[in-house]
Structure 1
Amino acid sequence: MQFRLMTYNIHKGIGGIDRRYDLQRIVDVIRYYHPDIVFLQEVDEGVERSRRDRQVELLAAELDFEHFTYQNNVAVRNGHYGNAILSRYPLGEQLDLDLKVSLKKRRRALITRTEIQNGRASHTMLLCNAHLGLSGFERSVQIKRILTLDELEELSIPVIVGGDFNDVWAEHGRKLMFPLGFECAVCDAKTFPAAFPVRSLDAIYYRGELKLLESFTGRTKLARQASDHLPVIADFEFESGATS
């Protein structure tokens, strides 16, 4: 069975060039690529700059995602923003992993499980959506914290870790994740700034009985306008016989 995963820093629905709030542009970008699972970062809820919209609920409704979960990371006047996951498949209990490093902005990783049914076969997969810090030291601490999770020690199920890693050269991701069996689906695609991307900030890593079919960056004209990041997309297939 195949599925498509996207990770996308939506910048609260504010365009990277025109600085205009237009969540419909984000909807249209996501819809164009038909993902089954979407990792989102910088999702607003109740914030004046985004008309106090509950963005994850609006996105889920507009895109017909029956399952979604949201994580409040950073408090803003009258609201907050954080990470979210949209899914065509059921999501399990949400785990909020604290990634805060002393004197740095509060950051967390959103972790959950999904179960994908394919006829009689059932596939359970662990999902981790993270928005990492701006300094190399901060990112190193945060990735190590993710990798020491008890949930990641369960080697019997596939794991996907993705999001805005702020890891320009994919240095920390490769150095820390490869030794634990992770492979890179997307880790050096230029995604920032969206209009003229020169930095590789967004990544998807995976481990377990998954086969990477294709990965690419969304580079449509609208994707260059809708946010300050481009989305990255990866197509996977469960390896033959992989069930849970």
Structure 2
Amino acid sequence: MKLRIATYNIHKGVTAFGRKTRIHELKEAIKTLDADIVFLQEVQGQHDHHAKRHDTWPSQAQHEFLAGDTHQCVYGMNAVYEHGHHGNALLSRLPIKTSTNRDISDHAYEQRGILHVVVQIAELEAHCFVIHLGLFAASRRRQVQALIQQIKEHVPPQSPLIIAGDFNDWSQRLSHTLYKELNVIEAFDSAPQLGIEQLAPKFKLRGIGLGQNAHARTFPAGLPWLSLDRIYLRGFKVEHARVMQGGSWKTLSDHVPLSVDLSLNRFDLITKHLG
């Protein structure tokens, strides 16, 4: 079975300091990704001030507005304040079976969570984790350990696994831990070995290295330089991986999204089950 997924930090659907709303343009842009599953970060569940300030502010929560009639949606509320809240969300064309949101806040100034959603893919249940890690390296290390523990306790080794989101890991120090503990691949690290070597020159011109431990660069959107956004996989084969740069993507958020085409690697899943 073929599957397209995407991950995107949407910056709460507004420009800096909330001067202008971008949520309608974001909805149209996300539609063009044509993704079966979309992992979203910085999703505004409620913001009373923006709702009063902007005439076009949606009456729905952003995850519901972005899902529209084509996708189911799940929201994990993380940061709560007097006038609203925001967090992570997942949009899915495929049936959503269950969802949980776990608080992994490391201190009072950064409220973070892990949104765990089980999605039905053919006859299998795929475990999807939406991540937005902290700004401090020590926090990120502890939050990744919490993620690893949660996956080891709640995800069967034979189940497909997708972890995607904003890792804030500009030094690229977390991948080795995830590779070792969870036996995952990262979508762009694996790209040359999985049939898209012909894209390498194009990506290098854009400043995006391919190959081991060379993740896609997604921040800042105007001239992506830092590798903050990732997609880690287990039980899938990467068919095609893209960074959505240029055009309107430069101004819709402070990040650009990643889009990856996948197929289920049933041999890999069977091997893990037997092992």
Larger mean CA deviation between 178-187 and 88-97 belongs to 178-187
Pairwise mapping of residues 150-189 of structure 1 onto structure 2 (< 5 A)?
A: 150-152=153-155, 154-172=156-174, 174-180=175-181, 181-186=183-188, 188-189=215-216
Change (3 A) 1:93 1:18: closer
Contact residue 13 and residue 50 of structure 1 kept, 8 A: no
Deviations 1:196-237, CA, capped at 9 Å, x for gaps: 111111110011x21111112111411111111100111110
More strand by share: 1
Counterpart residue number, 1:60: 67
1:71 matched to 2:72? The reply is no
The yes-or-no answer on 1:105 pairing with 2:132 is: no
Query: What is the CA-CA distance between 1:15 and the residue it aligns to?
Result: 3.6
Q: Distance in 2 between matches of 1:43 and 1:86?
A: 12
5 Å-filtered alignment, 1:119-158, equals 122-149=123-150, 150-152=153-155, 154-158=156-160
Among the aligned pairs, what percent are the same residue? 30
Q: State whether residues 16 and 226 of structure 1, in contact with CA within 8 Å, keep that contact through their aligned partners in structure 2.
A: no
Shift of 1:160: 0.6
Alignment RMSD, CA only?
2.1
| SS of the residue 1:205 aligns to | strand
Which residue identity lines up with residue 158 of structure 2 in the other structure?
Answer: S
Instruction: After TM superposition, list the pairs within 5 Å mapping 1:183-202 onto structure 2.
Output: 183-186=185-188, 188-202=215-229
8 A Cα contact 1:92 1:114, kept in partner: yes
Q: Residue 159 of structure 2 aligns to which amino acid in structure 1?
A: I
Confirm or deny: 8 A CA contact 1:47 1:78 kept in the other structure.
yes
Alignment partners' CA distance in 1, 2:265 and 2:100: 27
Identify, as 1 or 2, the structure richer in helix: 2
Match of 1:87 among 68, 92, 101: 92
* Separation of aligned partners in 2, 1:23 and 1:73: 20
Structure 1: gaps spanning 5 or more residues: none
What is the match of residue 231 of structure 2?
A: 204
Q: Which runs of 5+ in 2 are unaligned?
A: 52-56, 189-213
Partner letter of residue 64 of structure 2?
Answer: E
Q: Distance in 2 between matches of 1:93 and 1:205?
A: 20
How far did 1:240 drift?
A: 4.4
Between the two proteins, the alignment pairs up a number of residues equal to 235
Q: CA deviation at 1:24?
A: 1.4
State the shift of 1:18 in Å.
Answer: 9.6
- Output the amino acid matched with 2:63: V
TM-score between the two structures when normalised by the length of structure 1: 0.89
Q: Secondary structure at the match of 1:114?
A: strand
TM-score (ref. length: structure 2): 0.80
CA pair 17-74 structure 1, distance change in 2 beyond 3 A: closer
Contact 1:16 1:194 in 2 (8 A): no
